[in-house]
Structures are given as structure tokens and as C-alpha cells.
Amino acid sequence: MKYIIEVTDLKTVFGDKIVHEGLNLKIKEGEIYGIVGPSGSGKTTLIREMLMLQEIDGGTIKVLGYNLSGISYKHAQELRQQWGVLFQAGALFSSLNIRENIALPLIEYSDLPRKLIDEIVDFKLSIVGLKSSDASLFPSQLSGGMKKKASLARALAMDPKLLFLDEPTSGLDPISARDFDALILKLRDILKLTVVMVSHDLQSIYDTINTLAVIDNKKIIYDGSVNNISTIDNEFIKTFFKGYI
Amino acid sequence: MDTSSLEIIYTGNILSLVFEGELTLYNIAKLQKKIETLHLNQEKKVVLDFSKVTFFDTASALMIYALQERIFQNAIELQILSASKDISDMIELVKKHKDKIKATQEFKQKSYLEILGRLFYEKYLIFLSFMAFLGEFFTSAIHNIGIVKNIRYKEIFFEINENGIKAIGIISVTSFLIGLVVAYQSAYQLKLYGANIFIVETLGLSILRELAPLITAIVIAGRSGSAFTAQIGAMKITQEIDAMMTMGFEPFRFLVIPRVVALMIIMPILIFIADIMGILGGMLIAYKDLNISTTLFIDRFNDVIEAKHFFIGIIKGPFFAFLIAVIGIYRGIGVKDDTQSIGINTKKSVVESIFAVIMCDALFSIIFTNLGI
């Protein structure tokens, strides 16, 4: 079995607060890996570390075979073109319209003709369920759900192998949230993606996730199928999954 | 309606406190005052009577809890009379949480030396991070300088328009007024000595060498420095910077270098415009107040003002521009994840860049004087 992400003995310290200590996890190719945990337990920090947005204080993180500690500029750039990230609030570039947002990585990293780039953008918009006519809108003109979809289209622009989702369904109404879950499942199958997501949405966790990791007290306290979660005796798990287990 | 009251009754050395009515945070202040005036040293026993209390909230519970603590400290016997279940539960709840708070609270008295040390250490860290920022800027600049494809022409021209062309109006007006004011003040003095014609030297030297570059820099610091900080700060909050980094777009190449380069290109041009407008302002006063005709003014200007003064003013431009842009952007990147931080950083960016510009100007003065220019 090939691992896409391997985290070993991770340590993170903020000032005098230890966030992670001895944290280990492995993410398999092709799975949807969900991370849950109480607020302040360092879920987002963990994702940021995998994305090289934050330095780690100990241990190793390997993503797609690259060891992130001491990675060279060239390798880091290669790695960054192989993943896509959906931020919580979308993080679309506010000075560019949707088309330009999605086309930007294609323009920067490829020498494709403009016409083909436009076709790619239209295709990506269509798979996330947006119309080509939305492409000329600016991020400030979009609703929350459309922002997430547009941002997902941008994350998919370079056909990544690995997709990071930070609370993909937060701020969406239940119907859009379920649509979004279905979209993620569909994309995983079409594009052979490996998905890493942080979520608080129980329905979404049950519907999409293959492997669930629970992070609490600086460590991963559970790592496995959602259905066996009831075997773990932990206050957070008991409260969070109340009614489901 | 305030229905609460407290009756204090002494019977021998037994003190009875009879509470009555609704005890809520709106009306217990006066009861608190009464309680505080009690001495609690001769009494043997204190009786708290809650039988007439109809309502009791957490604030009152905290007050009663504090009173109980005092009574215990003075080793006085305590008796609570007919407290309803609600009241005793409330006091119990407060007691439980008070104990919890006490357990987690560590009192650390900081000495002045420690506060001072921390303050300097924080400033030192800011200095280090600014140096790191500069270092990253230069490495990124060197990395991208040779590669024509990597130069962001579109962004550079956009910034030149935004921060240069659109600033011409305000800079013209400001420097025209400065020229006017300087001329007006000197005209009065010069007239006293009949040295009217020397207005040309006064204006030429002060405006070309010092005033035009400084005024331009100050306007640009207020206008563009603050804009850089606020814009980049907002991008930080909306995670746009994170998004750029995860897509492999270095913020230095896309955001920092275009702004710095644009400002460094446009600043000398703006100073040139400020020179012209300042001198024009001066000429107007020279003509009105000192009867020096325009032709005479220009002839004299040609004779006595050497070109080097003009160039000294212009050469300062890129340096000032660099400081303003770099400080503005550094402060923008320093924005934390809250809106207040944008305000603080924008303020700091303007103040610090104006300060840096003046420091740099002083340095130039010393260098040029020593070089005899």
C-alpha cells in the first residue's frame, strides 16, 4: 500500500503551549481522510504544516514522497503543483474574477494557448457545478456556496493528486452541504484524488470519509473506520458522536 | 422596582444580617457597601437570614461567598437561616467554580525589570523579523532579476498608475503650497535687508534639495504605505496569501517586488513634479511680494542653482520609495488574524515609514556635507 502522506512523531509548539507531541498518521492513496477534534486541538495547524505554511518543531512530514523538512526550493515548487487546497472561506484572489482565479496557475505554470486555458477553466467550472457565465464575476459578488465551488475549481485547475479541504461544508446550508459531499465523492472517483479534510459536519463525515482520525491531547487518539468509533473511551468522541453511536 | 434590602441587627455579640426581596446584580451594590462597613471582629456568631429573599442571582451568590470567606477568616461561627434550595445551590455552584479558578490561577508578580526586558526583547524580535523580511526580499529579487519572464510587468504598471500617476494631483498642490509658504516667510526677512533677489537661492536650494523629496515621501507614505499595509493585511486575513503560497506563487514575486519596483520608478518623477510646483509657488510670491519678474527669477535660477542640487533631490527618491514600500508591505504581512491588527499595523506602517524617511534624509545630509556636495 502506498502512502501519500506520512507524519511521524510530529511536534508543534506555540510559545509555551504544546500543540502536537508524538503525533503519527498515514494517509493511503485514493482515500478520503478526515480529521476531527475539539477546537484548539491543532487540526488546522496540522494541515498548515502539511502545506508548508508553518514550520514544525520536531518529527517528520512526508507528502507525496517529499520530506518537508529541509526541502529544496525546486522540490517545494514541484510539490505545490501536485496538490490543491480549498480554504475555509475560499481565499479566492479578490482582485481577479473567477476565470482569472482559475486560469492563474495554468498561465503561470504552463505555456498552453489562451484558448485551451479558457476551455480548461470552463470544464473545471462545469465539474464543480458552476456555469461559464459565472466566470466573469468577482469573488465579492458570489454567495458562500458559489465561492466554495469556485475555490474548489481553482484547487483542481492543475489536476492535482492530492486535495486538502479545510471545513468544506462550514457556512453552507444543509442542502448545499450534502451537494458538496456528493461532489467530493464524485471528484474522488473521476480524478482519482486523495482527499484530506478537516470537518465538523457529522453528516459529511459519515457520508464521505473512509478513514477518520481524531486528534485530542496533542495526539491522534483514533485512526480508522467511522463505524468503529464507539470502541474508544474519550470525552470528545462521546460528545461529538452522541446520537450516532 | 428595587425591593431588596438588608437589615443589620446586633443582639449581644450575635450579628444578624436579614436579606429581603430580590437580590440581583442591579441592586446589590448598596448591600455590598453596607456589608463592607461591618467590622466583624467582636462578633461571636453571624446569622445570614435569607427567609425573605424572593430571587437570588450569581452576582449575589458571589457577594455572599465573599462574605462567608471573610467570616471564616475571622474565625466566627456562621449560621445560615432558611436558605431555600435555589439559594444554597447557587452559593454551592459559585464556591465550586471559585475553587476551580483558584486552582488554575497562578499569580505572578512581574518586576519592572522584567517588563522592561520583555519590551526590549519584543522590539529586538521585531527588528530581527524585519531583517529576515529584507533578506528574503533581496534573495527573491536576485532570484528573479535575471529572468525576464518572471518580471510582473502588468502588476508593476498597475502599481505605478495607482501609486504614482494618481498621486500627481495631491503632490502638485502640496508642493505648490509649500513653495508659497517658504517664499512668503523668507520674503519678509529678505525685504528688511533689501536682499530681494536672494529669494531664488533660498527657494532653489531648500525646495530642490530637501523639501520636494520630503513632502513627496510623506504624501506617498500616507497614501501608498498605508494602502499596501491594509491591502496585504486584508489578504492575509482572507487567507489569500496562504492560498498563493500553497499554489507555489511566492508572495515576494507577486506582491512585494512589483510594489517596491513601481514605487522606486515613480518616486523620482513625482519629486521632479514637486520641484516644479514648489518653485512655481515661490515664483508667484516673488513676483507679488518682491517684484521679481518671472524672467528675472528664471535667469537668476539658471545662474546660481547648480544642477547637482536637483540631482541630490532626485537621487533620494528611490531610497525613500524603497523604505516606504518595504515598511508598508512588512507591516501588512505582520497582520494577525483579526481586524484590529489591520488598524494597528497601518498606523505603525505610516509612522515608521515617515520616521525612516526622515532618518534616511538626515543620513544623506551628513554624507553629502562630508563629501562637499
Q: Which of A61, A44, A45, A50 is nearest to A13 (CA)?
A: A45
- Work out the average pLDDT over B353-362: 95
Q: Domain B5-104 classified CATH 3.30.750.24?
A: yes
How does the average pLDDT of chain B come out, rounded? 87
Q: Which of B175, B210, B217 is nearest to B325 (CA)?
A: B217
Q: What is the pLDDT of residue B275?
A: 94
Residue found under cell 446586633: B10
Q: Where are the beta strands (DSSP E) in chain B?
A: 5-11, 14-23, 45-56, 77-81
The verdict on pTM exceeding 0.80 is no
The answer to whether residues A90 and A139 touch, using CB atoms and an 8 Å cutoff, is yes
Q: How far apart are CA B290 and CA A225, in angstroms?
A: 92
Q: Is residue A245 domain-resident?
A: no
Q: What pLDDT, in 10s, does the model give residues A32-73? A: 999 988 888 888 889 999 999 888 888 889 998 888 888 888
Q: Which of A176, A245, A235 is nearest to A206 (CA)?
A: A245
Residue type, B189: Q
CA dihedral of residues B190, B193, B196, B199 (deg, nearest 10): -30
Q: How far apart are CA A209 and CA A204, in angstroms?
A: 8
Rounded to a whole number, what is the distance in Å from the CA of B139 to chain A's nearest CA? 12
Q: Which of B345, B349, B125 is nearest to B236 (CA)?
A: B345
- How many of the other CB atoms lie within 10 Å of CB of B99? 9
B43 compared with B160, residue with greater pLDDT = B160
Chain A interface mutation, best of B247, B250, B337, highest count of A Cβ atoms under 10 Å: B247
Q: What is the DSSP letter of B110?
A: P
Residue B106 pLDDT class (50, 70, 90 cuts): low
Cell numbers at residue B5, please? 434590602
Q: What pLDDT, in 10s, does the model give residues B173-210? A: 999 999 999 999 998 888 888 888 888 988 999 999 99
Q: How far apart are CA B74 and CA B41, in angstroms?
A: 7
Of the candidates A77, A89, A93, the beta carbon closest to that of B248 is on A77
Cell numbers at residue B267, please? 518616486
Q: Is residue A229 domain-resident?
A: yes
Cell numbers at residue B225, please? 504605505
Chain A interface mutation, best of B139, B240, B244, B253, highest count of A Cβ atoms under 10 Å: B240
Residue found under cell 520530506: A67
Q: What is the pLDDT of residue A204?
A: 86
Q: Where are the alpha helices (DSSP H) in A90-173?
A: 98-109, 114-127, 144-155
What are the residue ranges spanned by the domains of chain B? 5-104, 121-151, 152-371
Q: Is residue A108 domain-resident?
A: yes
Residue found under cell 482520525: A213
Contact B248 A76 (CB under 8 A): yes
Of the candidates B238, B246, B249, the beta carbon closest to that of A51 is on B246
CA dihedral of residues A228, A234, A237, A238 (deg, nearest 10): 100
Q: How far apart are CA B210 and CA A86, in angstroms?
A: 51
C-alpha of A113 from chain center: 30
- Work out the average pLDDT over B294-318: 91
Q: What is the pLDDT of residue B346?
A: 94
| Sign of the CA dihedral running A196, A198, A201, A205 | positive
In degrees and rounded to multiples of 5, residue A131 shows phi and psi of -90, 155
Residue found under cell 520616521: B355
Q: How far apart are CA B305 and CA B362, in angstroms?
A: 22
B266 has a pLDDT exceeding 90: yes
- Work out the average pLDDT over B259-265: 93
What's A39's domain CATH number? 3.40.50.300
Q: Which of A51, A82, A83, A55 is nearest to A70 (CA)?
A: A55
In degrees and rounded to multiples of 5, residue B337 shows phi and psi of -75, 35
Q: How far apart are CA B252 and CA B258, in angstroms?
A: 9
Q: What is the DSSP letter of A227?
A: G
- Work out the average pLDDT over B119-143: 90
Q: Is residue A145 domain-resident?
A: yes
Burial class (CB in 10 A: 0-12, 13-18, 19+), A78: middle
Could you report how far apart the first and last alpha carbons of chain A are, in Å? 30
Q: What is the pLDDT of residue A177?
A: 85
Q: What is the pLDDT of residue A1?
A: 61
Rounded to a whole number, what is the distance in Å from the CA of A227 to chain B's nearest CA? 33
Is A104 at the interface with chain B, CB within 8 A? yes
- Work out the average pLDDT over B269-298: 92
Cell numbers at residue A168, please? 468544506
Cell numbers at residue B158, please? 498597475
The answer to whether residues A116 and A144 touch, using CB atoms and an 8 Å cutoff, is no
- Non-local (6+) Cβ contacts of B117 within 8 A are none
State which residues of chain A have pLDDT below 70.
1, 243-245
The answer to whether residues B217 and B357 touch, using CB atoms and an 8 Å cutoff, is yes
Q: What is the pLDDT of residue B107?
A: 62
> With contacts defined as CB-CB under 8 Å, which chain A residues touch B245?
51-53, 80
Contact A89 B248 (CB under 8 A): no
- Non-local (6+) Cβ contacts of B269 within 8 A are B164
Q: Which of A80, A158, A163 is nearest to A117 (CA)?
A: A158
Q: How far apart are CA A83 and CA A52, in angstroms?
A: 12
Q: How far apart are CA B290 and CA A153, in angstroms?
A: 70
Q: What is the ipTM of this complex?
A: 0.83
E strand or H helix at B355, and its extent? helix B339-371
B169 has a pLDDT exceeding 90: yes
The answer to whether residues B19 and B4 touch, using CB atoms and an 8 Å cutoff, is yes
B309 has a pLDDT exceeding 80: yes
Q: What pLDDT, in 10s, does the model give residues B39-63? A: 777 777 888 888 888 888 888 888 8
Q: Which domain holds residue A212?
A: 3-240
Is A105 at the interface with chain B, CB within 8 A? yes
Residue B214 pLDDT class (50, 70, 90 cuts): very high
Cell numbers at residue B357, please? 524617511
**What is the tally of structural domains in chain A?**
1
E strand or H helix at A5, and its extent? strand A3-14
The answer to whether residues A145 and A124 touch, using CB atoms and an 8 Å cutoff, is no
The answer to whether residues A76 and A127 touch, using CB atoms and an 8 Å cutoff, is no
Q: What pLDDT, in 10s, does the model give residues B230-243? A: 999 999 988 899 99
Chain B interface mutation, best of A75, A80, A164, highest count of B Cβ atoms under 10 Å: A80
B22 has a pLDDT exceeding 80: yes
Q: What is the pLDDT of residue A188?
A: 86
Contact B240 A88 (CB under 8 A): no
SS3 sequence of A52-98: CCCCCCEEEEEECCEECCCCCHHHHHHHHCCEEEEECCECCCCCCCH
CA dihedral of residues A19, A25, A29, A32 (deg, nearest 10): -60
Residue found under cell 455572599: B64
Q: What is the pLDDT of residue B197?
A: 87
